[in-house]
Structures are given as C-alpha cells and as structure tokens.
Amino acid sequence: MTPPSRHLAHRSPRARRRTAVRSAGTVLLPLALTAAALLAVPSPALAEGADSVELPVMAARLAGGADCVKASTRTAASTPWEHQSLELARAAQISQGAGVKVGVVDTGVSAGAPTLAGRVDALGAAGDDCVGHGTFVAGLIAAAPAKGVAFHGVAPRATILAARGTTERGAPSPAYVASGIRGAVDAGAGVIEVSAAFDSRSDQLDAAVAYAVKHDVLVVAAAVPDPPDSTGDTTAPAPRDYWPAASPGVLSVLDVDVQGARPDSALFPVGADLAAPGDGVVGIGPRGGGHFVGSGASFAAAYTAGAAALVRSAFPDLSAAEVARRLTSTAYPDDVPRLDAYAAVASVLDGAKAAGSGAAAHDAAVRMPERAHGERATRTALLVAAGAASVALVVGWASLAVPRGRARSRRRAGRG
C-alpha cells in the first residue's frame, strides 16, 4: 500500500510548532474545544521530567589528530522523547526483536559497550569503534535496559552484526559501504542499517543493495547525510537524491525533531519513505555506561531498523518488502509518514496492506514538493482539522440540545 502522499516542506520555527501533525486517535479532544484551540494542540510531548543533564555530542567522524572518543561521564536518567514518540514501552510487550540479526554499516560497533555485551558479532575489525557513531546507532537499535536508566534500544533482544562502512576515523566510501552490506547479508542479517548517504550514484552500492534484496534482507538507509558539526549556512539547498537511500529496494528514512519538523537549513531528499526521531536523540558510547546526544538521519534510520527487527521477530513469515510495507502503512499520517513502532507490531492489517504489492519499498516514497505547495497542503490540513473540531462541537451540542428541546415540547403538550 502506498504511504499517504503528504509532503515535508521548509517552514519557520513558528510554523513548525503550529503545524506538526498528530495521528488520528492519539489525542482525544473534549467537545468543548473550539477550532482555534485545536490549532494549538502540540506535537508529541517531551519526555516526562525532561532531562537537564548536558550530554556530549556524538560526531559522525573524528577531526584530524583527535583521539578516539572517550567514555561519557554523564547519564540521561529520564525517558527520552523519542521513546514516547515511538511508544517503545507498549511495543516491548509484543516484540523485542528476539532472533533477528541487524547489520550496522557504520564506523564499527564496540563489542565492549555494556548494554550490547554478548550481542555484537563483528565482521573483521568492526568490533572496535574509535569514532563511536556506529556504537551509538547500534544502541538505538538494540541496547538493553540498564538499572536506573530510562534509555534502551528499540529491539533489546536483537543481535548486532557490525560492519565497517568507513575508515577507522569515520570517513565513508561507497566501496566500504557496499562491502559492509554484502558482508552483513552473508552473515545472516535480516535487517541492515546504513548510516552513510552519498550525493552520487554508485554501481557498487546498487549491486550490494540488489544482493540484499535477492536474499530477502531489508536495507534501511539515511535519506540525507548527517549535518556537519557546525556551519554558518542557513540556506536550504534544493532537494536531491542520496545513495544508497535512493537505490531500488531501500527503505529511506528522514530525521525529524520532537515537533515532527526539520530545520529550515536541513538537507532534503527528492523522496523519502518514512520519518523518525533523529534530532537531539540520546544514545550510548563505545565504552562506559554514560550517554551522548546526536542528530541526523542516520539515527532516524537506526530507530527504523530497530522497528523492522521488532516486525521480523513478531511476523517471521513476512518478506523484507512486506516488513517495509507494514512499517509505512502503520506510520503516523504526517507530511512524511512518521514511524510508529508500536503500531507496526500491534496493528491488524488486511491482506493487501500486510503483504503490499511486492514492489520495492522505495517505489512508494513520498515525493518532496516545492515550498509553496507544501505550505498550501499544511494550511489545508489545518483547515480540515479545524472543520472537524467544529463538526464535533456542533454534534456534541446537538446531542445535548435536541433531547432537552423534546422534553420541553412534551411538557407544553401536557399543559395543553
């Protein structure tokens, strides 16, 4: 089933706050709400007891001469907003990813990370992660719960297959990523997360993705590159394709913040299949029990790969294409459909939705519009929502007023 054709357009911070979309049924509005009040309903709430601890930032690569990333001495004790957005607590009651191997093609994954201990199989030297980015990604996918810490991965009983897609210091290349994908397929991965996004097509990458599709492995990739550590440029470049996210058969994922929006200067792809938390998300490092914070589409892809592991564990007979279709068809109906891990494992779908058409996942990607079209679509959505609230208000008033009117009529008839 094709995902809802809603578009993600560039917006000002104020517009993003006002136009973030909630899924139907997630918020119950009392009949007393007016249409104007509906427009002020916020997007997914921040975690309870928002964490005020300042965490070190996880970078995608090491600067020239920098030492390997050190252990964080700070811990995030409160529930991250992304956990609530994905409803991980409810999803865990149905599936925790047991029996599924998730390949992580990144900077490597530290086999010594405490919450991944005993569940990391490394290809070659990928069990050592100097940068820390790959371990952070793997933690979002499969980190086990720790005492006194609210953070954990989406699929804490899944196994991680670590594969290098970069140099030891984090510089990616199509050849490294293609080799990592093939290695993870051969090692038995059911899902593969790819963090890198290249601005030019590569025959090696296309062939590696085709190899994964042929072996019924779902490849989940970042729709755009992660943002640089710092930049003074606030101009939004024109949307373009990035690979391997744009390769046929790949589930491409875009990052969004707690409001379901992205910065005005963010990179945009031409198309994307899903959106998932990726701005200011909490994760683990390659050593120690402390936490880091990071932003980027690679982290959104990690959350989606974790959700795919939940689905493959709960529904082992589904093909990779059917898993992708389930993730997109159960997503929040937002500009780009937003991942809902709980709905993906809990929803009862009809045959067409569950199985899909058998087409590659990327063929149904939401296309990015021109800015004006996206803004018009947003305004239309708000007017429809306001209209729905007005109808609800009228219906609620009528349900109270009509019986009272009839009672008055009966009383008058009795007196007559």
Task: Supply the residues annotated as catalytic.
Answer: 106, 133, 298
Distance CA(35)–CA(116), nearest Å, equals 48
DSSP secondary structure of 35-72: HHHHTT--SSPPPSS-----PPBPPSSPPTTPPPPPPP
249: tokens are 């058969």
CB 97 within 8 A of CB 156: yes
Using CB atoms within 10 A of its CB, is residue 45 exposed (0-12), middle (13-18) or buried (19+)? exposed
Burial code of 337-354, b = ≥16 C-beta within 10 A, e = fewer?
bbbbbbbbbbeeeeeebb
Q: Tell which residue, 129, 106, 130, 24, has the closest CA to residue 381.
A: 24
Cβ neighbours of 304 (radius 10 Å): 35
> Using alpha carbons only, what angle is made at residue 176 by residues 152 and 304, rounded to the nearest 5 degrees?
30
Distances 56 to 81, 131, 282, 293 between C-alpha atoms, Å: 18, 13, 10, 6
What angle do helix axes 297-314 and 320-329 make, rounded to 10 degrees? 110
Q: What are phi and psi of 371, to 5 degrees?
A: -55, -45
Rg of the chain over all Cα atoms, to the nearest angstrom: 23
What angle do helix axes 133-142 and 297-314 make, rounded to 10 degrees? 30
Distance CA(159)–CA(222), nearest Å, equals 21
Alpha helices in 315-370 (DSSP H): 320-329, 341-346, 351-355
Residue 115: DSSP 8-state: G
Cβ neighbours of 163 (radius 10 Å): 31
